[in-house]
A and B are shown apart, each in its own frame.
Chain A
Amino acid sequence: MTPRASMAASVVGFGVSVAAIFLLPSVLELFTLINATIYVSMAILALSLALIWGYGGILCFGQAAFFGLGGYTYAVAAINFGDSTGAVVLAMVVPALFAALLGYFMFWGRIGDVYLGVITLTMTLIFFKLFNATAGDAYKIGKAALGGFNGIPSTPPLNLPWDVGSPLAPEDIWYIAASLLVLLYFGSRWLLRTSFGRVVVSIRENERRSELLGYDVRRYKLGIFTIGGAMAGISGILFANCVFVSPTMFSLFYSAQVIIWVTVGGIGTLLGPIIGAIALQMIVAKLGTLEVIDPNVVLGSILLLFVLLVPKGLLPLMQSGFDRLRRPKAPVPVEPAIRPTTTPGARRPEPAPPPVGSAPATNTLGGS
C-alpha cells in the first residue's frame, strides 16, 4: 500500500473502531459484551507478542506468564488496597520488572533463540505449578488468599481512580478495554516509528550488523521485551476484571494460543494478531456451544493450514488481495528501466551473485 492509502486506511480503521466501541454495548447482551471484553483483553495480549516476536524477533513462549502475573498482581493489590488505582499501576510494573529481570539474564547471557523459547516456556510452567500449589490459609499475601487451583474468585472490579465507592460496571470495563486496545495499537505503531523502534526492527533483521554499527542490541531487546511484559500485564488486568484470576492464566493453553493468534494473523504486523485473536476466539466459542467437535482440534487444524498454506498470515493475505483488486492489470511492480547512475557506462544488467566459494574471475595475480 502507498503511504497515502495506508494513512487513509488508519483513519477509516480508527473511525470504525471508535464506532464499534460505542455501538456494541447497545447492541449486545451483557453476557456477550463481557465475552467481547475478554476477546479484547486477549487481543492486547496478542499485540504484546506481535511487538516482541514480530518486530523484536524474540520468540517468547511464555507471554502468558506476564499476563498471569499482571492479573495476580492486580487481584492481590486491589484486595489489599481496597482501591484499584494503585493495583493497576502495580499490575503493569510487576510484569514489566519481571520481564526486565528475565530479559537481563537471557540477553546478557546471549542465549540462542531456541533456548529463549525453552526458558520462557519453562518459566510460565513454573508459575503455573507454583500458583496451583498455593491452596490453604498459609498462602496469603496481606489480606489476599491465593487460593491454589481455584485462584481468587473475589477479584475486585476496577473502580474510578481513587474512588473506592464507585466500582465500574461491565459496560464501563468494555469501554476501557476497547479504548486501551485502540490506544495500545496506535501506541505500538508510534513506537515502531521512533528511533528505538527502528533499531529494534534492524536487530530482528540482522543482529550482528546492528552490533557492528555500534548498537548495544541487548539493551534494545531488553527494552522491547519489557514493554511487551507491561502490555501483557494490562491484558491480565482486563481479563481479571471479566473473569477472575486463577493459575490457568499461566497455563500452556494461553501461551500456545497467543502464538497461534499471532501466526495466523500475520507475524510482523500489528493488526493481524489483533484480528487473529478476536476471530479465533469467536470461532472457538462458537464451536464450544455447538459441541460437535473439540475446538482445540479445529484451532490446531487452522494453525497447520496457515503455516502450510498462508505462512505470512491473514493480514498480509488480505492486503495483497486488496492490492490485486485495485490494480488488476499490473500485479508486478514495474522497475525503472534505466538506473540514473553517474557513470554512463554502467547500464548493463547487474550480474547474478557468484556461486559461493567460486574464485573471482579477475584473480590474475602476476598475470597481466
Chain B
Amino acid sequence: MNAPAATNRTTRVEPIIETRGLVMRFGGVEVLRGIDFGITPGELRCLVGPNGAGKSTFFKCLTGQYHPSGGEIRFKDKAIGGLPSVEIARRGIGIKTQVPSLYDGLSAREHIWLAVKRRIANTGGLLKEVPIAVDEVMESMGIAHLADRTVGQLAHGQRQMVELSMVIGAQPDLILLDEPAAGMTHDEVERLAALVMRLRGTCSLIVVEHDMQFIRMIARQVTVLHQGQVLMEDDVETVLRDRRVRDVYLGKREVV
C-alpha cells in the first residue's frame, strides 16, 4: 500500500487525524482491511469509492459508533479508537450522517440551539450567549427563515442544510460529511460547495461523496477506498483519470 500522500510533503505537518492499519470486522466479514489515512489541520479531503467500499463504516469508526477490531486512530495526537461517541464528539469531531439524522419533532432553531449550547458549555462560556450565537449560525447558513418550522416537515434539501448547520454550529475541529449533496438540486449543490470552501481552513473536513461534479468543485486531494483498503490517494484530476478508479466505479455501476 502506498504511503498517504499527505505525509510525503517536504515539511511534515502533524496530522489532525490519522489511522494506522484500521480494521473493522463484522463476524467473518472484514469491511475495513487495514486503512492508513491521515489529513493535516485545515485540509479538505474527499473520500470516494464504490458502494460497499467501507466509507460509512470508516466514518462510524472515527466517531466511535463502531469500535474498531484492530489498528489505531489518533485525533489531535491522542488515541481515540474505541472511545464512546460522546467522548469523541466532545474532543471535536462532528459528523453529518448519510441518512439525515435530525430531531423530526423539533424546530430548526432547537437543532442549532442544541449544537451551540453543547459547544458553549464545553468551552465554559455563558449560557446567555447561546441564543445570540444560534441566530448568527442560522443567519450565516441561510436557514433563518426556517427557524420556527418543524424539521420533520421540511423538504429534503432543507433538512440537509439544517443538519449541516447543526454540525457547523458545534464548531468541531474535524467535520465528517457523509454524502452531503445527496438528493440536493443543482443550485443547492453549488451553495453547499461554496459553504464547504468557506469552511476550509477554519477546520478540517473529510467529505464522502458520489457526486463527482461536487467533488470537482471542492476537492484538491482525493482518497479512493476500494474493498476496505486505500486504492489510491492523489489530486482530483489524477484520480479521475486513473484507470483502476474507473474500473472499480464502472464495474460497480453495471450492477446498479
| A binding-site residues for B, Cβ under 8 Å | 195, 198-199, 201-202, 205-206, 208-217, 336, 339-343, 345-346, 348, 350-354, 359-360, 362-368
Contacts and interface: CB of A to CB of B under 8 A. Distances in A.
* Dominant SS among interface residues on chain A: loop
A350 B212 contact: no
Given A212-B95, A213-B166, A364-B212, A359 B256 contact: yes
B105 interface: yes
A208 to B, nearest CB: 6
B104 interface: yes
B53 to A, nearest CB: 13
Nearest to B101: A209
Given A213-B114, A217-B86, A367-B212, 12 more contacts: A202-B106, A211-B85, A212-B89, A213-B89, A213-B166, A214-B122, A340-B145, A351-B184, A352-B155, A353-B183, A360-B183, A365-B212
Interface of B: 63, 65, 85-86, 89-90, 94-95, 97, 101-106, 110, 113-115, 117-118, 121-122, 127, 142, 145, 155-158, 166, 170, 181-189, 191, 210-214, 240-241, 245-246, 249-250, 253, 256
A214 B110 contact: no
Contacts of B186: 362
B104 A205 contact: yes
B211 A360 contact: yes
A359 B210 contact: yes
A351 B102 contact: no
Contacts, number: 124
B124 to A, nearest CB: 14
Contact of B118 (A213, A339, A367): A213
Contact of B89 (A214, A345, A365): A214
28 contacts: A195-B121, A195-B127, A201-B106, A202-B106, A205-B105, A205-B106, A206-B103, A212-B94, A212-B95, A212-B97, A212-B101, A213-B115, A216-B86, A217-B86, A345-B187, A346-B191, A350-B157, A350-B185, A351-B157, A351-B185, A353-B156, A360-B183, A362-B214, A363-B210, A364-B212, A366-B212, A366-B246, A366-B249
* Dominant SS among interface residues on chain B: helix
A214 to B, nearest CB: 4
Contacts of A353: 156, 183
Nearest to A353: B156
Among A339, A346, A360, max chain B CB count under 10 A is at: A360
A319 to B, nearest CB: 16
Contacts of A354: 156, 182-183
